[in-house]
A and B are shown apart, each in its own frame.
Chain A
Amino acid sequence: MTVTATQVVDVTADTLADHARKLLDGGARLALVAAHHDPPDHPGGAAIRVVYLFTAGPPDRRTELHLRTDPDHPTVPSLAALSFPAGRFEREMHDLYGVHPQDHPLPRRLVRHPHWPHGWHPMRADAGPRPPLAATEPFPFLTVQGPGVYEIPVGPVHAGLIEPGHFRFSVVGETILKLKARLWYVHKGIEKLFEGQPAGSRVGLAERISGDTAVGHALAYSLAVEDALDIPVPAGAQRARAALLELERLHNHAADIGAICNDVGYGIAHAHTQRIREQLLRLNQRTTGHRLLRGAVFPGGTQLAEVPDPATVQAIAADLADLVATALRNTIVRDRLTGTATLTTTQAADIGTLGYVARASGLPLDARVAHPHTDLADLAGLTVPVYEDGDVRARFLVRADEVQASTALLASLLPSLTAGRTAAGAGAGAGSGSTAGSGSTAGSGSTAGSGSTAGSGSTAGSGSAAGAGSAADGPRSGVGIVEGWRGTVVHRVELRPDGTLTRVKVVDPSFLNWPALPVALANTIVPDFPLTNKSFNLSYAGNDL
């Protein structure tokens, strides 16, 4: 495998926008914005440091802009005018770190609901225990006025087993004029839970960021740690990871295909996808010892209990293809899916959507192609289905096609895998907890080439390599990019040289895809909302860390 060097550019508040514009114009997307509350012993001194990660590919290109803010009054110039995701990242950063985005067009709270204490920013190192919450919560929504306009409030407690979110529909008749989704009911402080822990001991936490994306997050986290600490990973382990990623895609897509059918009242398809999903979960159980594939990926390698038989997977995929064909032969199902909640290519690109949402709107984004963690030769059989329509049907078909693409990929990957533990220097430790130790020794032992201090040296010239090129005794950083089943998952970690995490920033594709849902729903009718919501199927937990 090849470690892609991350370009690091130190910028000032004045040059940030120019750099960002150049990168965005060059086809890069803003993948992640992370604030770091550096302690006084940090090489750069105590301050809030903001890292903007831009990615593009293929070929894999990663550029970080590092901006050190004023220690007393942390502010950043807002990039919201250049990139919609930037505006959301800045609002998140403001709530959690108290970094004020200057000239932000929508300077409202995002993560913290209004009853959270004012001036308390939980991610700051000096945040301290939480002050009491306000008893009452102002709940302002944009009121749509006009004859016959009324509001339907839904949630945050819903019927059925889904996570909390409040949806406020402004409706005339049955047509949705405006939908406001209020999320952020499940802030768990996950990023804070990583801090101060040995890197190898926190892969389990990464797996639980969003329960259905165990492999996606564990792998993104592991890749980031490996990137930071120069942990070598055998090619076999990378292939096993690629295979696990596809197994995760399969069981989630199977569930979604059934759920979309169920939401139009086509229960028989739902019943059968439940059967198919159960077969996949049992296959996962045999493969990794866990139905949702937990415990298989860790920094440095993989652990498989058994290698699945490609024929089994192919049989399940054929079953699912049959079911999809049956569902689409039903004219009522087809009518309900076609033309419902269209997200145009322009909208999808402007919002910065990822995954099947982007691919159903004509954007061929796939991190497996753009940021491969495994040898490209291993992914030779990979096809990326893209549809132009952007409606529920397109999102349904992208999933159906991806099931077949994943199966084809698994058929070529699985025969080369071996059961058991695959990791470099596997003798160094047996548990994932000790992996960090072995990894960090490997990292500090290897004296990597050009030695500018990654992500911290204010004097570092532009174009120095982070992660792979960090000095042995300085802080280290790494980036992991993975195409999870829902879209591109990005993790960025910073560690001390002993392998202790100082900051982990997680970006689940849901964070970028959520704003697309209200856009797609404009002028859709209310009874089509659940169907549309299911076709996006975004994570609340992955969105609100």
Chain B
Amino acid sequence: MAAYAVAAGQAVLVAALAPWLLGWMRAVRARLEGRAGGRFGQPWRDLRKQLRKEPITPADAGVFFVAAPPVLMATSLLIAGAAPYVSTRGPLSGVADLVVVVGLLLLGTVALALAGLDTGTAFGGMGASREMTIAALVEPTLLLAVFALSTRVGSTDLAAIVAAGAADPARVISPVGALAAAALAVAVLAESGRLPVDNPSTHLELTMVHEAMVLEYAGRDLALVEWAAAMRLSILLGLLATLFLPWGVATSLHPAALAGATALFAVKVFALGGLLAAGEVFLAKVRLFRVPELLAGSFVLGLLAVLTASVLA
């Protein structure tokens, strides 16, 4: 029972933190660019505003358009609850292995891409086609990078990997860890639609990837999509943080350990988010046809990580 409470708590934690993380990253970037920028809480205010407005469905849209926001939100909540962010003793450990997590991420992506196609607008289809191109290159990298970490544990269960890392942090700092971290970092950038793959702050429809798919959403639906997208960023940064900086993740269900782990998780995610935002200041968006080169590079890193892991093991 306590395990389920922890899982629910994790989901709530990620859902609550995600908009703050976005606000924090925007603030970091604004400051580094010499702008005043908006307030930390602005994404939350935007969500509150959107949640009060009625959703509008395009005349030509069908079931995929209506279903995508709840599906996207549900997958995000499920990953947030299942992944070993705060505790490795979740109720779904043993089930929630890396294949499930990557599959759930992909389910959300596909749901949104179908919704983009479902609107029948050129922008929706354009965004969906670009998103699927990127997803087809990103998901294998995500799998490979985590798989490299799983070989030394002998399990694809994320909780087992993190628990092993938390027990022996020295093992994380290894050639395998470095290669996998690099591969995963690039995949995270692409999956969450950040520079240099996608520009989350653009208003130019023709250059959009993620935003182009969700142009037709309004009101509550838009709030759900944006919220879930923010959560996916937190989820991915959280994975990066727990897999490669597993210190402090609770391996028991002791309240003090859980509280400490929660605080540490927030700190790690915000630190990674700040780093990402700072890095983005120096980046521009690469030409769309260069994105596959970048992602192929990260795939090769992932492959090397797996090879290194099997050779060193």
A residues apposed to B, CB below 8 Å: 150-154, 159-160, 174, 261, 263-268, 271-272, 275, 330, 332-333, 335-336, 525-531
Contacts and interface: CB of A to CB of B under 8 A. Distances in A.
Interface stretch (B3-11, B31-39, B52-60): B31-39
A160 to B, nearest CB: 5
Interface residues of B, number: 29
23 contacts: A150-B125, A152-B123, A152-B126, A152-B206, A154-B205, A154-B206, A174-B288, A265-B196, A265-B199, A265-B202, A265-B284, A267-B29, A267-B281, A272-B34, A330-B284, A332-B196, A332-B284, A335-B286, A335-B290, A336-B286, A525-B287, A527-B206, A530-B207
A527 B126 CA distance: 10
A333 B207 contact: no
Contacts of A530: 204, 206-207
A154 B212 CA distance: 13
Given A265-B202, A267-B201, A336-B284, A526 B126 contact: yes
A205 to B, nearest CB: 32
A525 B288 contact: yes
Interface in B196-228: 196, 199, 201-207
Contact of A150 (B122, B195, B205, B288): B122
A11 to B, nearest CB: 46
Interface string B106-149: 00000000000000001101100000000000000000000000
B33 A268 contact: yes
Interface of A is mostly: helix
B283 interface: yes
Given A265-B199, A525-B289, A330 B207 contact: no
B45 interface: no
Contacts of A525: 287-289
B48 interface: no
Q: Which 8 A-B pairs have the closest CB atoms?
A: A265-B285, A152-B122, A266-B284, A332-B284, A265-B199, A530-B204, A159-B203, A271-B33
Nearest to B126: A152
Contacts of B204: 159-160, 263, 530
A174 B289 contact: yes
A529 B207 CA distance: 8
A174 to B, nearest CB: 6
A265 B195 contact: yes
B122 A271 contact: no
A275 to B, nearest CB: 7
Interface string B255-289: 00000000000000000000000000111111111
B203 A265 contact: no
Given A159-B203, A529-B206, A268 B288 contact: no
Contacts of A526: 126, 206
Contacts of A271: 33-35
Nearest to B37: A271
Contact of B122 (A153, A159, A333): A153
B57 to A, nearest CB: 20
Contacts of A152: 122-123, 126, 206
